[in-house]
Amino acid sequence: MLAIPLLLGLTYFPAYAEKADIDIVKSSRKAWDEAKGKHGDSYRYSVTVVSAFGFGSETVIVVHNGKVTERRYRSWMRPMAVTPGEKTEPKPDWVEMTDSIGKHKDGAPARTMEQLYDEAEKAAEQKLQPFEKRYVKTDSRGLLEYAFIVDKRIADDAPRKGVSISKLKLGNEK
């Protein structure tokens, strides 16, 4: 019954929307618990930040057996040129391995998916202010892509409160 008014855009019930958002995140966490077990709790994901003005950065977090083992960071001043057919990844500005993780202040913090799901749940169940909007999405496997809140009063590059990841790959890199 709730889906019909929302799909048709006739009525919006914030209380129902907030409940649906937390349900999506909790369901995704169950899918994550199943998926991580099948892959030895080893995976990698990216956190990408892109400015409306063309500059940005990407942090790649690598987790092996449930522990963050690597953090790679690269930044750019304008969109990167892509050569058709090229499959090599650009070289990172820096790489941190097990003992040095957290040394650099740039980039996304080194977090496991469990920590990200905790943060996503907080964002999904937080009561929204009238000027805030929440975004929640999972991928085709049901795994978290994002759950964050933005201030609608800020047009470009509004800060996000919550989680936004991409390129989640399960299993060892090799």
The string over 5-20, giving b where at least 16 C-beta atoms fall within 10 Å of a residue's C-beta and e elsewhere, is: eeeeeeeeeeeeebeb
User: Above pLDDT 70, what percent of the chain?
Assistant: 82
Kindly list the domain boundaries of the chain, sorted by start residue: 13-170
Measured distance CA(76)–CA(63) in Å, rounded: 25
43-56 pLDDT per residue, tens: 999 999 988 788 89
68-85 pLDDT per residue, tens: 999 999 998 865 566 677
Per-residue pLDDT at 79: 57
Work out the pLDDT band at 12, boundaries 50, 70, 90: very low
22, 29 Cβ separation under 8 angstroms: no
| Confidence (pTM) | 0.81
Residue 11 predicted with pLDDT over 80: no
